[in-house]
C-alpha cells in the first residue's frame, strides 16, 4: 500500500490530471463556437470622434468600473479567494521538500521558498478553506446551493495543505501523516477534471477565451451561443 501510494499512484494521478484537464478544455472548444465577425461596416467616412456622438465608449474611470465590478461588490470574498487560489496553486511548486524529492529523482528542481514563507502560505490556504467553510455554513445565499458534495470538495482541496502542515511540524506520527499527505495530493489532482474543481481551467477560459465585458487580454475569441 505504502509503495503503491508513493509509486504508481503518483503517475496515475498526474496522468489523470493532465489528460483529464486537457479533455475538459477540448470539450469546451467543442461546445462553444468562434465569435462572429462584425458584419456591419461603416459605409463611408471615419467613425465620429466626439464622445457625445460615439456611444459605447466607456465613460467611467477605471476606479469607478472597479467599484461596480465583483471586486467592489464583494471585496472581502474576492481578496480571500485570490490569495487562497494563488497560494494553493503556487506553493506546492516552491516547497523545499518537494524540490528535494525532484532533485533526488531527476536532478532538476525549482527555486525553493524559505521554509517559514512556505509554511505561512500553507496557513493562508488553510485559513482560506476555513473562511469558505464558515461562509458556506453561515451565509444564506451560499447555504441555499450547498450540498454534502461542496463540503467534500472543499476537504479534498485543503487536505493536502492540512496534512502538509502537520507533516512539516511533525505533529502526530510522521510516516502516517506524510503518506496521507501524498494520498491527499493525488486525490486532489485526480479530482480536478471530474468534480467542480474543473473551475481551475474554466477560470482561465472565462477570463481569456470567452467574449464578455470582463474578458482580459486580447478580448476573447469564443462564445457559448
Partner 1 sequence: MSSNDQAPINQDEVRRILDQHKDKTKTALRVCAHCSLCADSCFLYHVHDKDPRYMPSHKFINSLGKLYKKKGKIDRAGFKEIEEIVWRRCVLCTRCYCPLGIDIPEMIAIARDICRSQEVFFQWSELEQPAE
Give the binding range for partner 1 (CB under 8 A) out of 9-17, 35-43, 113-121, 202-210.
202-210
Q: Cβ 65 to partner 1, closest distance in Å?
A: 13
Cell 502526530 appears where?
Answer: 172
203 touches partner 1 (CB under 8 A): yes
Q: What is the DSSP letter of 144?
A: T
Contact 191, 149 (CB under 8 A): no
Binding partner 1 (rule: CB under 8 A), the pick from 86, 127, 202, 221 is 202
Q: Name which of residues 98 to 137 contact partner 1 (CB under 8 A).
A: none
- List CB contacts of 36: < 8 A, sequence separation 6 or more: 223
Is 128 exposed, middle or buried, given 0-12, 13-18 or 19+ CB atoms closer than 10 A? buried
Q: Cβ 218 to partner 1, closest distance in Å?
A: 16
Cα–Cα distance list, 123 to 59, 128, 142 (Å):
42, 8, 24
Q: What is the DSSP letter of 210?
A: B
CA 150-197-85 angle, 5° bins: 100
Binding partner 1 (rule: CB under 8 A), the pick from 134, 139, 152, 216 is 139
Binding partner 1 (rule: CB under 8 A), the pick from 70, 134, 137, 152 is 70
- Judged by beta carbon, residue 109 or residue 195, the one nearer partner 1 is 195
- Judged by beta carbon, residue 169 or residue 199, the one nearer partner 1 is 199
Q: Name which of residues 176 to 195 contact partner 1 (CB under 8 A).
A: 194-195
142 touches partner 1 (CB under 8 A): yes
- Judged by beta carbon, residue 30 or residue 59, the one nearer partner 1 is 30
- Judged by beta carbon, residue 79 or residue 176, the one nearer partner 1 is 79
Instruction: In whole angstroms, give the CA distance from residue 189 to residue 185.
Output: 6
Quick one: cell of 67? 467599484
- Judged by beta carbon, residue 143 or residue 169, the one nearer partner 1 is 143
Instruction: In whole angstroms, give the CA distance from residue 113 to residue 94.
Output: 6
Binding partner 1 (rule: CB under 8 A), the pick from 82, 172, 214, 219 is 214
Amino acid at each position: 500500500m505504502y509503495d503503491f501510494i508513493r509509486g504508481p499512484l503518483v503517475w496515475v494521478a498526474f496522468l489523470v490530471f493532465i489528460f483529464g484537464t486537457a479533455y475538459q478544455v477540448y470539450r469546451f472548444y467543442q461546445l462553444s463556437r468562434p465569435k462572429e465577425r462584425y458584419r456591419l461596416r461603416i459605409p463611408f467616412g471615419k467613425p465620429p470622434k466626439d464622445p457625445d456622438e460615439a456611444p459605447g465608449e466607456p465613460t467611467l474611470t477605471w476606479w469607478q468600473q472597479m467599484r461596480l465590478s465583483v471586486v467592489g461588490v464583494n471585496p472581502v470574498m474576492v481578496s480571500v479567494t485570490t490569495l487562497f487560489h494563488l497560494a494553493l496553486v503556487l506553493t506546492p511548486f516552491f516547497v523545499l521538500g518537494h524540490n528535494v524529492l525532484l532533485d533526488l529523482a531527476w536532478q532538476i528542481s525549482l527555486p525553493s521558498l524559505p521554509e517559514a514563507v512556505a509554511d505561512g502560505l500553507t496557513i493562508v490556504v488553510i485559513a482560506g478553506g476555513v473562511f469558505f467553510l464558515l461562509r458556506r455554513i453561515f451565509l444564506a445565499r451560499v447555504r441555499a446551493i450547498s450540498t454534502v458534495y461542496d463540503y467534500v470538495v472543499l476537504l479534498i482541496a485543503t487536505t493536502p495543505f492540512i496534512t502538509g502542515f502537520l507533516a512539516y511540524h511533525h505533529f502526530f506520527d510522521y510516516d502516517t501523516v506524510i503518506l496521507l499527505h501524498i494520498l491527499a495530493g493525488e486525490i486532489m489532482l485526480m479530482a480536478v477534471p471530474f468534480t467542480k474543481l474543473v473551475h481551475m481551467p474554466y477560470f482561465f477560459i472565462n477570463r481569456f477565451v470567452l467574449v464578455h465585458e470582463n474578458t482580459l487580454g486580447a478580448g476573447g475569441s469564443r462564445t457559448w451561443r
